[in-house]
Amino acid sequence: MRRYARKLHAGRPALVLAPLMAATLAITACSAPGADPVTEDDGDTEVSTELGSDPITLEMYAETGFPLAKALADEFSNQYPNVTFNVREDQFTVIVENAPRVLAGDNAPDIIRLPTMIDLVSDGLLKNLDPYFDAYGWDSFPASQLEQLRIADDGTRGSGSLYGMGLGYSVTGVFYNKELAEQVGMTEPPVTIAEFEELLAAAKDAGIQPIMQFNQDTAGINFPHQALQNQYGDPQEIADWIFQKEGATFDTPAALKATQTIEKWAQAGYFPADANAIDYTAMMGQFQEGNGLFMFNGDWESGNLDSNMPGEVGFFLFPGETADASHVAMSAPNTFGVGAKAKNPDAAAFFLNWVHTNEKAREISVQVGGSSPGGPADLEVPTAAEGTVLAQTLAASGQLAEENGAVDFTANATGSIFASAITPELQKLIVGEQTPEGYVQAVQAQYEEELSR
* CATH no. for 56-169+333-395: 3.40.190.10
Let me know: does 54 contact 80? Beta carbons within 8 Å.
no
Most distant pair of Cα atoms in the chain: their distance: 67
Let me know: does 37 contact 45? Beta carbons within 8 Å.
no
Give residue 45's pLDDT.
64
Which of 447, 389, 417, 427 shows the shortest CA–CA distance to 171?
Answer: 389
Let me know: does 178 contact 160? Beta carbons within 8 Å.
no
Q: What is the pLDDT along the chain (453 residues), one digit of tens a residue?
A: 332 232 222 222 333 333 322 332 232 233 333 344 444 444 456 899 999 999 999 999 999 878 899 999 999 999 999 999 999 999 887 888 899 999 999 999 999 998 778 889 999 999 999 999 999 999 998 887 888 899 999 888 888 999 999 998 889 999 999 999 999 999 999 999 999 999 999 999 999 999 999 999 899 999 999 999 999 999 999 999 998 989 999 999 999 999 999 999 999 999 999 999 999 999 999 999 999 999 999 998 998 999 999 999 999 999 999 999 989 999 888 899 999 999 999 999 999 999 999 999 999 999 888 888 889 888 888 889 999 999 999 989 888 877 878 899 999 898 889 999 999 999 999 999 999 999 999 999 999 999 998
Burial 347-373 (b: 16+ CB within 10 A, else e): bbbbbbbbbbbbeebbebbbbbbbbbb
First to last CA, the chain: 39
CA-CA distance, 331 to 17, in Å (whole number)?
A: 10
CA-CA distance, 86 to 347, in Å (whole number)?
A: 14
Q: How many other CB atoms are found less than 10 A from the CB of residue 18?
A: 30
User: Could you tell me if residue 311 is left (phi over 0), alpha (psi between -120 and 50 degrees) or otherwise beta?
Assistant: left
Partners of 84 in the beta sheet?
57
Q: Where are the domains of the chain?
A: 56-169+333-395, 171-331+406-451
Q: How buried is 424 (Cβ within 10 angstroms: 0-12 exposed, 13-18 middle, 19+ buried)?
A: middle
For the chain, give the number of residues.
453
**Options 3.40.190.10, 3.30.70.580, 3.30.70.100, 1.10.3720.10; which CATH number does 171-331+406-451 get?**
3.40.190.10
Partners of 87 in the beta sheet?
60
Give residue 371's pLDDT.
85
Secondary structure (3-state) at 112: strand
Partners of 34 in the beta sheet?
none
The angle formed by the CA atoms of residues 15, 17 and 21, to the nearest 5 degrees, is 115
Q: What are phi and psi of 173, to 5 degrees?
A: -175, -145
pLDDT, one tens digit per residue, over 132-147 is 999 999 999 888 788 8
- Comparing 56-169+333-395 with 171-331+406-451, is the CATH topology the same? yes
Give residue 363's pLDDT.
94
Let me know: does 263 contact 47? Beta carbons within 8 Å.
no
pLDDT, one tens digit per residue, over 20-29 is 223 322 322 3
Give residue 428's pLDDT.
98
Give residue 38's pLDDT.
47
